[in-house]
C-alpha cells in the first residue's frame, strides 16, 4: 500500500511538467494565431488576394490628332485578332495529353516487346508542351477554313504563354492577327458565339495623309506589354489599386497587359501623351486557379479613348511644302516652317526626307533614318549658321545704336579689309553706294561689315538675344536645346577656343557666319516678329480659336522710329522685288522654273546663303512674310546643300519653295479686301522705291 | 371516427429518384435522351399543326358561299398568271443586270441558294422567343446553319435538324450573330441578338461599326440594319431591323454600337423560307 501511495505521489510532478510543456506550446500557438489573425491580418489577406488574382490592364486607344480645319492626321483603326480562351480549353488540353501519353506508351511497347512503356520525366514534360499546341492548332485549322487563311501556330509563343507560373496563362492567347473586314465578317457569322475562340480588337495608329508631317506628329511603337509603360488607374476600385502598391517583383507576377500598348516616342505623340492622347486604360480583375488559368472576372472597366488634339497645322499647306521639297530636292535635307504671324501658330512644319510612321517599328527602316539624321524634326532641332538672313538684326542693332539711319550711305567695294584680311562681298561686282534699303535688297556684306564695326559686338549680340535667337521657344514639341543655339560673344570665344575676339569675328557675325547658329524655327519666328514690329513670337503647334484676334507674345516693340522701321520693311519688300532683289523668286520673279507671280499678294523677304562643312557646302535660307500691309503668314525655308553644292543660294534654291507655299496660302486664305494697313498712320506705306536717294 | 388517409409517398420517391438519376447522368446521355424523345414527339407536333391548318381551312370554307369561292379562284388564277409572267421577266432582267455589274466590279461570286417554304409548327416553349419549329427536316434537305427568312427579313438560322422537322434559332437569340451593314455605310458591322426582356419586343445590338461612321438619316427617317452578305452564310440585303435611338461610340472610341428593334414580321410568323446553299461552304456552326 505504501508503495502504491508513493508511486501516486511521484506521478503528478511529471504530469505537471508534461502538462506545463504542452501548455507553453499551446500558448505559443495561440499567440502566433492571434498575431496572424489580429496583427498581420491585413498583410496576409492582401497577399492571399493577390496570390489568387491577376490584374489585366487593357491599353486605351489613343486620341485622334486633327489639323486646324479638322482634317484627321492621326487616327486609329481596330486590328481584329482571333484569341483562344485557354482557360476554357483546359479539359481538351488534358485529354490531348492523355491521348499523347497513351499513344507513346503503346508505340514503345510495340517497338520493344516486354517493355512497360513508361515515359521518362523529360519526355513527359515535352508532351505537356505539345498537347496545348496540338489543341490550339486544331482550332486554328478550323479558323483557317472559315476565313480562308493558311496560318500556322507559333509553337514557341504558345509554350511561352502557357508556361507554368507564367502570369500570361490568365489571359487568352492570340492565334490569328489583324483580320480583314471580310475575314471578320466570316468569323462572326460562321463561328458560334459560345466557341472558345473570340475576337479581341486592339487599336492601331493610322495616318490618312501618309508621310505628311511625320516629324511633327511623331510616332508610336509597341511597348510589348511592358509594365513600366503602364499608367496608374487613379479612379479604380480599392482592390484594384492594391496591385499598384505591390513591390516591383510582385507586380511582375500579378499584373499584366491584355495586349501590348502603344508607347509614344516622338513629336506631338510624345509631347501630349500623358493626360491627353494616352487615354485611361481599362482593367479586368480575375481570380485564377492554382494552376494560373483564369477562373472568374471579379470587376473591370473598359478603356477610355484619349482626348483629341487639334494642331495648328494646315494639312494642305503642309502637303504643298512637302511636295515642293520632294520634287525639287530629292534626297536633300530641307525644311519649311510657316507661322501665323498674329497668333504664332505653326501652319507648316515640313522636313524632307519624310518617313512612314507605320514602318518605323521595322528595325532596318528605323536605323536607316536614324543614321542619316532625317528622323529629327530638323526645322526645330538643328541649329545652323543663318547667313544673310540674319542681316535684318544687324540693321536693327545699328539703327538702335544710332550708327546709321535709313539714308546713311556706305561705299561698298568688292571686299572690306580688316587688318590684313579681306572680307569679300558675295557678288563679284561691287554694289557701290549702298543705303539700308539697298543693303537688304541686294544683301550687301560689305555694308554690314562696316556698320557692324561701328555698332560693336555687344550691341549686335544683345539685339540677337532680344529676338530670342539663343533661347528655346514656347513650342510644345522637341526643339534644339539652349546649348546648341549660339550667339557668339568675346566671352564665348575665349571659353571655347582660348583666343581673343577679333574685329573680323564681328564682321562675320554681322552676316550670320562664324560660330553663330540657330534654327529655322527661330529665324521664321524672328521674321514674324519683325512683321508685327515686335521682338518675340510665341510659337505653338496647338490651334486655339480664341487666339484668332492676336495674342500677347511676351516680347516688346522693336523700338525703332516709324521711318526707320519702315525702311527695314521697304528693304525686305525690295528684296522680294525684281529686277535685283535676291529674294525675287519668292514673289514669282526671275528665271526659275516652276514659280508663279502671287497675283496681288505683296511679299517681304530676306535670303541667306551660309557656308558649312569647311566651305564645301552651302545652306540656302529664305525668310518671307505676306501680305506686307497686314502680315498674316511668315515662312522660312532651309535647304541643306551636300558637300560640293557651293552654288546653292537662298534666292535660287529656297525661294521657289516659299513661292509654292505662298501660292497655296493665297488660294486658300488671301482675300483682296484687306483691312487698313497696320503700319503707323503717321508713316503711310509708300511701297518700294527702286534705287535710293542721296542726301 | 374516420381513419386519417395518408398519401402514398411511393410516386414521390420514384420521382425524386428519377430526378437524381437525371441530374447525375452524363451530358451525352441526357442529350441522347432529349433527341430520342424529340423524334417521338415530333409526329405529335406535326399532327397538331396540321390539324390546326385543317381547322382553319374548314372554318373559312364553312363561312363562305360556294359561288364566291369559284369567283375568287378564277380571279386569283388570272392575277397569278399575270404576276408569274411579270416575275419571270423581272427575274431574268435582274439576273442579267447582276451578272453585268458583278463582271464590271469583279465581285467574287456569291453563294446561291435553293429556297424551301416551310410552315411554322410551333414556337418552342422552352425558349419562348428564341426558337421556332418548322415542318421541314433532314428529308427535305435542310442543313444546320441554313438561313431562314421571311419576305425580305431575317428570321434566324437552322440550329437543329430532325427527320421531318427543324429548329430555328431566332434572330433575337443572344447566341445569334451575323455580319451586317448599316444604312449609309458599306463596311462590315456585327449584329447579335440581345438578352430578352419579358413583355418587350425582341431586340438585338449592332456592334463593330467603324468609328468614323457619319451617316445621318433625314428628318424622321430611321437607320436600317441589313445582312451584309460578307459572312458567307446569309445573302446580303436582308432586313434585320431598325436602329433604336442613336448609334453611340463605345467608351474606347473604337466602334459605334446601338440597339436594334427587329422587324415586326417576326412576331406573327406562319410561313418562312429556308435557304439551302447550293455549294455549302465551311462553317463551325454544325
B181 and B251, same domain (yes or no):
yes
Q: What's residue A113's pLDDT?
A: 79
List of long-range contacts for A466-471, beta carbons under 8 Å, 24+ apart = A466/A535, A466/A556, A467/A393, A467/A526, A467/A529, A467/A535, A467/A536, A468/A522, A468/A525, A468/A526, A468/A535, A468/A536, A468/A555, A469/A393, A469/A518, A469/A522, A469/A523, A469/A526, A470/A518
Q: What is the dihedral of CA A578, A584, A585, A588, to 10 degrees?
A: -60
Are A190 and B212 in contact (CB < 8 Å)? no
Rg (chain A; Cα; Å): 37
**CA distance to partner chain B, nearest, from residue A235 (Å):** 15
pLDDT tens for each residue of B62-81:
887 877 878 888 899 999 99
pLDDT over 90 (residue A329): yes
Q: What's residue A109's pLDDT?
A: 87
B178 and B274, same domain (yes or no):
yes
Distance CA B262, CA B239 (A): 9
Which of A61, A185, A190 lies nearest to residue B228, judging by beta carbons? A185
Q: What's residue A208's pLDDT?
A: 94
Among residues 33-92 of chain A, which lie with CB inside 8 Å of chain B?
A: 60-61, 72, 75-76, 78
* Phi/psi of residue B269, nearest 5 degrees: -90, 130
Q: List b or e across B249-263, with b for residues whose CB sees 16 or more CB atoms inside 10 angstroms.
A: ebbbbbbbbbbbbbb
B52 and B125, same domain (yes or no):
no
Read off the pLDDT of each residue in B166-185 and give the average, rounded to a whole number: 90
pLDDT over 50 (residue A683): no
Q: pLDDT category, B129, cuts 50, 70, 90?
A: low
pLDDT tens for each residue of A593-623:
889 999 889 999 999 999 886 777 889 999 9
B123 and B21, same domain (yes or no):
no
- Count the alpha carbons within 13 Å of B128 in the hemisphere toward its beta carbon: 9
* Cell numbers placing A377: 524634326
Give me the number of domains chain B comprises: 2
**Are β-strands A415-418 and A333-340 bridged in parallel, bridged antiparallel, or unpaired?**
unpaired
B119 and B57, same domain (yes or no):
no
Q: Is residue B251 part of a domain?
A: yes
Q: List b or e across B273-286, with b for residues whose CB sees 16 or more CB atoms inside 10 angstroms.
A: bbbbbeeeeebbbe
Are B188 and A181 in contact (CB < 8 Å)? yes
Size of interface A-B (CB pairs under 8 A): 92
Q: pLDDT category, B110, cuts 50, 70, 90?
A: low
B3 vs B136, residue with greater confidence: B136
A620 near A641, Cβ under 8 Å?
Answer: yes
Q: What's residue B13's pLDDT?
A: 92
Q: Is residue B71 part of a domain?
A: no
B42 and B138, same domain (yes or no):
no
**CA distance to partner chain A, nearest, from residue B22 (Å):** 23
pLDDT tens for each residue of B143-159:
898 999 887 789 999 99
Q: Is residue B19 part of a domain?
A: yes
* A544-548, A571-575, A675-679, B178-182: segment of lowest average pLDDT: A675-679
CATH of the domain at B239: 2.40.10.340
Q: pLDDT category, B97, cuts 50, 70, 90?
A: confident
Rg (chain B; Cα; Å): 24
A107 vs B2, residue with greater confidence: A107
B121 and B205, same domain (yes or no):
yes
B35 and B167, same domain (yes or no):
no
Q: What's residue A562's pLDDT?
A: 95
Q: Is residue B79 part of a domain?
A: no
Residues of each domain in chain A carrying CATH 3.40.710.10: 315-669
Are B254 and A192 in contact (CB < 8 Å)? no
Q: Is residue B250 part of a domain?
A: yes
Q: What's residue A613's pLDDT?
A: 66
DSSP, collapsed to helix, strand or coil, labels residue A458 as helix
Q: How far is CA A601 from CA A332, A337, A576, A587, A654, in A?
A: 30, 19, 12, 8, 19
B125 and B263, same domain (yes or no):
yes
Cis ω for the linkage preceding A570 (within 30 of 0): no
pLDDT over 60 (residue B274): yes
What interface predicted TM-score (ipTM) does this complex get? Answer: 0.76
Chain A CB contacts of B231 below 8 Å: 185-186, 188-190
Q: What's residue A672's pLDDT?
A: 59
pLDDT tens for each residue of A78-124:
899 999 999 899 999 999 999 999 999 998 888 887 777 788 899 99
- CA nearest neighbour of A148 among A192, A202, A190: A190
Chain A CB contacts of B160 below 8 Å: none
Among residues 234-263 of chain B, which lie with CB inside 8 Å of chain A?
A: 234, 250-255
Q: Quickly tell me which residue has 511701297 as its cell.
A: A687
Superfamily of A54-71+209-311 according to CATH? Penicillin-binding protein 2a (Domain 2) (3.90.1310.10)
Residue ranges making up the domain that contains B195: 111-279
Q: Which residues contact A643 (CB under 8 A, 6 or more apart)?
A: A613, A616, A617
Distance CA A568, CA A499 (A): 35
Q: What's residue A688's pLDDT?
A: 34
B244 near A108, Cβ under 8 Å?
Answer: no
Beta-bridge mates of residue B179: B190
pLDDT over 70 (residue B255): yes
Beta strands, E only, A59-102: 65-66, 72-84
Chain A CB contacts of B176 below 8 Å: 193
B213 vs A516, residue with greater confidence: A516
A588 near A533, Cβ under 8 Å?
Answer: no
Which of B145, B175, B212 lies nearest to residue A193, judging by beta carbons? B175
Distance CA A654, CA A594 (A): 13
Cis ω for the linkage preceding A242 (within 30 of 0): no
Q: Quickly tell me which residue has 411554322 as its cell.
A: B120
Q: What's residue A361's pLDDT?
A: 85
Q: What's residue A691's pLDDT?
A: 33
Chain A CB contacts of B255 below 8 Å: 78, 201
Which of A72, A182, A189 lies nearest to residue B178, judging by beta carbons? A189
Q: Quickly tell me which residue has 476600385 as its cell.
A: A237
pLDDT over 80 (residue B3): no
B162 and B257, same domain (yes or no):
yes
Q: What's residue A231's pLDDT?
A: 65
* A465-469, A621-625, A652-656, A674-678: segment of lowest average pLDDT: A674-678
Chain B CB contacts of A145 below 8 Å: 282
Residue at which a domain ends, from B45, B62, B79: B62
Q: Is residue B141 part of a domain?
A: yes
Read off the pLDDT of each residue in A315-321 and give the average, rounded to a whole number: 96
Neighbours of B219 (CB within 10 A): 4
Express as a percent the part of chain A with pLDDT over 90: 60
pLDDT over 60 (residue A163): yes
A180 touches chain B (CB under 8 A): no
Are A304 and B175 in contact (CB < 8 Å)? no
Distance CA A396, CA A568 (A): 8
Mean pLDDT of chain B: 84
Chain A CB contacts of B233 below 8 Å: 189-190
B179 and B57, same domain (yes or no):
no
Express as a percent the part of chain B with pLDDT over 70: 90
Are B254 and A304 in contact (CB < 8 Å)? no
Mean pLDDT of chain A: 88
Q: pLDDT category, A228, cuts 50, 70, 90?
A: low
**CA distance to partner chain B, nearest, from residue A225 (Å):** 18
Distance CA A615, CA A444 (A): 19
Distance CA A218, CA A209 (A): 14
Q: Is residue B85 part of a domain?
A: no
* Cell numbers placing B176: 445569334
Q: pLDDT category, A4, cuts 50, 70, 90?
A: very low
Q: What's residue B285's pLDDT?
A: 64
pLDDT tens for each residue of A476-519:
999 999 999 999 999 999 999 999 999 999 999 999 998 999 99
Q: Is residue B86 part of a domain?
A: no
DSSP A559-584: ---HHHHHHHHHHHHHHTSTTT-TTG
**CA distance to partner chain A, nearest, from residue B161 (Å):** 17
Chain A CB contacts of B208 below 8 Å: 78, 184, 188, 201
Superfamily of A315-669 according to CATH? DD-peptidase/beta-lactamase superfamily (3.40.710.10)
Most confident of A628-637, B47-56, B129-138, B176-185: A628-637
pLDDT over 50 (residue A2): no
pLDDT tens for each residue of A271-311:
999 889 988 888 888 888 888 888 888 888 888 889 999 99
Chain B CB contacts of A194 below 8 Å: 175
B126 and B203, same domain (yes or no):
yes
Among residues 104-163 of chain A, which lie with CB inside 8 Å of chain B?
A: 142, 145-146
Which of B175, B179, B253 lies nearest to residue A185, judging by beta carbons? B179
pLDDT tens for each residue of B160-169:
998 889 999 9
Beta strands, E only, A302-365: 309-310, 333-340, 346-352
Q: What's residue B108's pLDDT?
A: 56
Chain A CB contacts of B187 below 8 Å: 181
Amino acid at each position: 500500500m505504501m508503495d502504491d501511495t508513493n508511486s501516486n505521489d511521484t506521478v503528478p510532478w511529471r504530469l505537471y511538467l508534461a502538462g506545463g510543456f504542452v501548455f507553453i506550446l499551446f500558448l505559443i500557438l495561440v499567440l502566433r494565431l492571434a498575431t496572424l489573425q489580429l496583427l498581420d491580418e491585413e498583410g496576409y489577406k492582401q497577399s492571399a488576394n493577390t496570390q489568387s488574382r491577376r490584374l489585366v490592364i487593357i491599353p486605351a486607344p489613343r486620341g485622334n490628332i486633327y489639323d486646324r480645319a479638322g482634317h484627321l492626321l492621326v487616327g486609329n483603326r481596330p486590328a481584329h485578332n482571333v484569341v483562344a480562351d485557354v482557360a476554357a480549353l483546359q479539359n481538351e488540353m488534358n485529354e490531348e495529353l492523355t491521348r499523347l501519353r497513351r499513344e507513346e506508351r503503346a508505340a514503345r511497347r510495340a517497338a520493344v516487346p516486354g517493355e512497360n512503356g513508361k515515359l521518362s520525366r523529360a519526355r513527359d514534360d515535352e508532351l505537356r508542351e505539345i498537347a496545348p499546341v496540338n489543341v490550339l492548332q486544331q482550332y486554328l485549322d478550323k479558323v483557317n477554313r472559315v476565313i480562308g487563311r493558311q496560318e500556322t501556330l507559333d509553337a514557341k509563343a504558345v509554350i511561352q504563354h502557357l508556361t507554368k507560373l507564367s502570369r500570361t496563362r490568365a489571359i487568352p492567347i492570340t492565334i490569328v492577327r489583324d483580320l480583314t473586314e471580310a475575314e471578320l465578317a466570316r468569323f462572326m457569322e460562321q463561328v458560334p458565339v459560345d466557341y472558345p475562340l473570340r475576337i479581341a480588337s486592339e487599336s492601331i495608329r493610322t495616318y490618312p495623309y501618309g508621310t505628311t508631317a511625320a516629324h511633327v506628329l511623331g510616332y508610336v511603337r509597341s511597348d510589348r506589354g511592358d509594365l513600366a509603360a503602364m499608367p496608374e488607374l487613379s479612379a479604380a476600385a480599392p482592390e484594384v489599386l492594391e496591385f499598384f502598391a505591390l513591390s516591383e517583383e510582385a507586380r511582375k507576377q500579378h499584373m499584366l497587359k491584355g495586349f501590348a500598348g502603344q508607347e509614344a516616342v516622338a513629336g506631338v505623340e510624345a509631347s501630349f501623351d500623358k493626360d491627353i492622347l494616352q487615354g485611361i486604360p481599362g482593367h479586368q480583375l480575375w481570380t485564377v486557379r492554382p494552376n494560373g488559368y483564369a477562373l472568374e472576372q471579379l470587376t473591370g472597366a473598359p478603356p477610355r479613348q484619349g482626348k483629341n488634339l487639334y494642331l495648328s497645322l494646315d494639312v494642305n499647306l503642309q502637303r504643298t511644302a512637302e511636295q515642293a521639297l520632294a520634287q525639287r530636292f530629292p534626297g536633300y535635307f530641307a525644311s519649311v516652317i510657316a507661322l501665323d504671324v498674329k497668333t504664332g501658330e505653326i501652319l507648316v512644319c515640313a522636313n524632307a526626307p519624310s518617313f512612314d510612321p507605320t514602318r518605323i517599328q521595322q528595325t532596318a527602316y528605323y536605323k536607316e533614318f536614324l543614321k542619316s539624321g532625317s528622323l529629327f524634326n530638323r526645322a526645330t532641332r538643328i541649329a545652323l549658321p543663318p547667313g544673310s538672313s540674319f542681316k535684318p538684326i544687324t540693321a536693327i542693332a545699328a539703327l538702335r545704336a544710332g550708327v546709321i539711319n535709313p539714308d546713311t550711305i556706305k561705299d561698298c567695294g568688292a571686299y572690306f579689309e580688316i587688318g590684313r584680311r579681306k572680307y569679300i562681298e558675295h557678288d563679284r561686282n561691287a554694289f557701290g553706294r549702298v543705303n539700308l534699303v539697298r543693303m537688304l535688297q541686294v544683301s550687301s556684306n560689305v555694308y554690314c561689315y562696316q556698320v557692324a564695326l561701328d555698332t560693336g559686338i555687344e550691341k549686335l549680340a544683345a539685339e540677337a538675344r532680344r529676338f530670342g535667337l539663343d533661347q528655346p521657344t514656347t513650342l510644345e514639341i522637341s526643339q534644339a536645346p539652349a546649348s546648341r543655339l549660339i550667339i557668339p560673344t568675346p566671352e564665348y570665344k575665349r571659353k571655347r577656343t582660348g583666343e581673343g575676339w577679333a574685329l573680323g569675328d564681328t564682321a562675320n557675325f554681322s552676316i550670320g557666319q562664324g560660330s553663330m547658329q540657330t534654327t529655322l524655327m527661330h529665324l521664321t519666328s524672328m521674321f514674324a516678329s519683325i512683321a508685327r514690329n515686335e521682338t518675340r513670337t510665341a510659337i505653338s503647334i496647338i490651334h486655339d480659336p480664341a487666339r484668332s484676334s492676336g495674342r500677347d507674345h511676351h516680347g516688346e516693340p522693336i523700338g525703332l522710329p516709324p521711318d526707320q522701321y519702315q525702311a527695314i520693311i521697304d528693304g525686305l519688300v525690295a528684296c522680294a522685288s525684281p529686277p535685283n532683289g535676291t529674294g525675287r523668286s519668292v514673289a514669282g520673279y526671275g528665271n526659275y522654273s516652276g514659280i508663279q507671280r502671287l497675283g496681288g499678294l505683296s511679299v517681304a523677304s530676306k535670303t541667306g546663303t551660309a557656308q558649312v562643312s569647311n566651305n564645301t557646302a552651302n545652306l540656302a535660307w529664305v525668310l518671307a512674310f505676306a501680305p506686307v500691309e497686314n502680315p498674316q503668314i511668315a515662312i522660312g525655308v532651309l535647304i541643306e546643300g551636300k558637300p560640293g553644292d557651293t552654288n546653292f543660294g537662298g534666292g535660287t534654291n529656297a525661294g521657289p519653295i516659299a513661292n509654292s507655299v505662298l501660292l497655296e496660302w493665297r488660294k486658300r486664305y488671301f482675300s483682296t479686301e484687306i483691312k487698313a494697313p497696320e503700319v503707323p498712320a503717321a508713316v503711310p506705306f509708300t511701297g518700294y522705291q527702286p534705287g535710293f536717294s542721296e542726301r | 371516427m374516420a381513419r386519417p388517409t395518408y398519401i402514398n409517398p411511393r410516386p414521390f420517391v420514384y420521382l425524386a429518384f428519377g430526378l437524381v438519376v437525371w441530374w447525375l447522368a452524363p451530358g451525352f446521355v441526357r442529350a441522347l435522351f432529349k433527341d430520342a424523345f424529340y423524334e417521338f414527339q415530333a409526329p405529335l407536333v406535326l399532327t397538331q399543326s396540321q390539324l390546326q391548318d385543317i381547322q382553319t381551312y374548314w372554318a373559312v370554307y364553312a363561312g363562305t358561299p360556294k359561288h364566291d369561292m369559284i369567283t375568287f379562284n378564277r380571279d386569283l388564277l388570272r392575277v397569278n398568271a399575270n404576276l408569274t409572267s411579270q416575275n419571270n421577266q423581272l427575274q431574268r432582267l435582274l439576273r442579267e443586270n447582276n451578272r453585268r455589274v458583278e463582271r464590271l466590279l469583279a465581285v467574287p461570286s456569291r453563294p446561291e441558294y435553293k429556297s424551301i417554304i416551310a410552315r411554322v409548327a410551333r414556337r418552342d416553349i422552352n425558349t419562348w422567343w428564341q426558337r421556332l419549329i418548322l415542318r421541314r427536316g433532314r428529308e427535305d434537305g435542310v442543313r444546320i446553319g441554313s438561313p431562314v427568312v421571311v419576305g425580305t427579313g431575317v428570321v434566324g438560322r437552322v440550329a437543329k435538324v430532325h427527320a421531318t422537322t427543324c429548329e430555328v434559332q431566332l434572330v433575337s437569340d443572344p447566341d445569334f450573330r451575323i455580319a451586317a451593314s448599316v444604312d449609309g455605310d458599306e463596311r462590315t458591322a456585327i449584329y447579335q441578338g440581345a438578352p430578352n426582356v419579358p413583355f418587350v419586343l425582341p431586340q438585338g445590338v449592332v456592334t463593330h461599326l467603324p468609328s468614323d461612321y457619319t451617316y445621318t438619316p433625314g428628318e424622321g427617317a430611321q437607320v436600317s440594319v441589313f445582312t451584309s452578305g460578307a459572312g458567307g452564310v446569309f445573302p446580303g440585303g436582308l432586313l434585320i431591323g431598325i436602329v433604336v435611338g442613336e448609334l453611340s461610340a463605345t467608351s474606347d472610341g473604337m466602334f459605334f454600337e446601338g440597339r436594334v428593334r427587329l422587324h415586326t414580321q417576326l412576331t406573327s410568323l406562319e410561313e418562312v423560307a429556308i435557304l439551302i446553299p447550293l455549294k455549302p461552304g465551311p462553317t463551325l456552326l454544325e
